[in-house]
Amino acid sequence: MEKTRIESAFSSVAYIKHVELRREAVPRFDLYPFCLDAVRTLDKLSFTKPVTFLVGENGSGKSTLLEGIAVAYGFNPEGGSRNMNFETRSSHSGLHHYLRIARGIKKANDGYFFRAESYYNVASQIDILDEDKEATGPPIKMSYGGKSLHEQSHGEAFFSTFMHRFGGHGIYLMDEPEAALSPIRQMSLLVRMHELVQKQSQFIIATHSPILMSYPGADIYMLDQEGIRETALEDTDHYVVTRSFMNDREAMLRQLLQEEE
């Protein structure tokens, strides 16, 4: 009943309804990033649930696609809120130029592009802005729990962002948020996501974590050599391999390490 109510409400507040590749504008499909199978086969990808996961092997293009969506929506390529404007190293692809974002009727009150690989740069930029003698208003770190992200462990900094900076009624794009989180913290992130979904938030997440993928009612899109297709948690390699390993660890290790019985 609760899931149905939330999903029904979501249909009227989705901040990103779908993304389309402007295929007619693509110069060549043998060039990066258009040569990636997930991009080469992309027409329209719809977001019909409060939580959508993009999953696939390393190199499948999930982070590239998420980055393209984020930049096309107006976020800084290196991450952060929409008003963060800095560049440490220009390494993002030009995919955002070829994406068409269909926005919902309602405008998000909050938003964040969280990417694990460049979060050090975001934390550094926050410290730089807070040290600006001419800056007005409260320090930015107050929105992150009141403590510099560099004065916390990697995992604590991640979780401070989820708990304090994410306020609800927002669009949150997350690239491998589990990277610095223990399994228990990943489960805590599930709880925080659910709190924010109940506050009319939308998540699009690229992940390898079967724990996060377990969020009830989420859409899971698999990115592989066939392109992009919807799948179930139990059919993902992440779930199958993890379950097989834990159910028969010794046999799996023998096979992996080629030990004789």
Tell me how crowded residue 83 is: count the other CB atoms within 10 A of its CB: 10
Q: 249-257 vs 237-247: helix axis angle to the nearest 10? A: 100
Cα(69)–Cα(217) distance, integer angstroms: 22
CATH fold of the domain at 2-115+168-257: Rossmann fold (3.40.50)
Q: For the purposes of burial, counting CB atoms within 10 Å of the CB of 164, is it exposed (0-12), middle (13-18) or buried (19 or more)?
A: middle
Domain limits, the chain: 2-115+168-257
Residue 123, helix vs strand vs coil: helix
Q: What string of pLDDT tens digits covers the 261 residues of the chain?
A: 455 555 555 655 699 999 999 999 999 999 999 999 999 999 999 999 999 999 999 999 999 999 999 999 999 988 888 877 766 666 567 999 999 999 999 999 999 999 988 788 888 888 888 887 566 778 888 888 888 888 888 889 999 999 999 999 999 999 999 999 999 999 999 999 999 999 999 999 999 999 999 999 999 999 999 999 999 999 999 999 999 999 999 999 988 998 654
Residue 48, helix vs strand vs coil: coil
Task: Report CA torsion sign: 192, 194, 197, 198.
Answer: negative
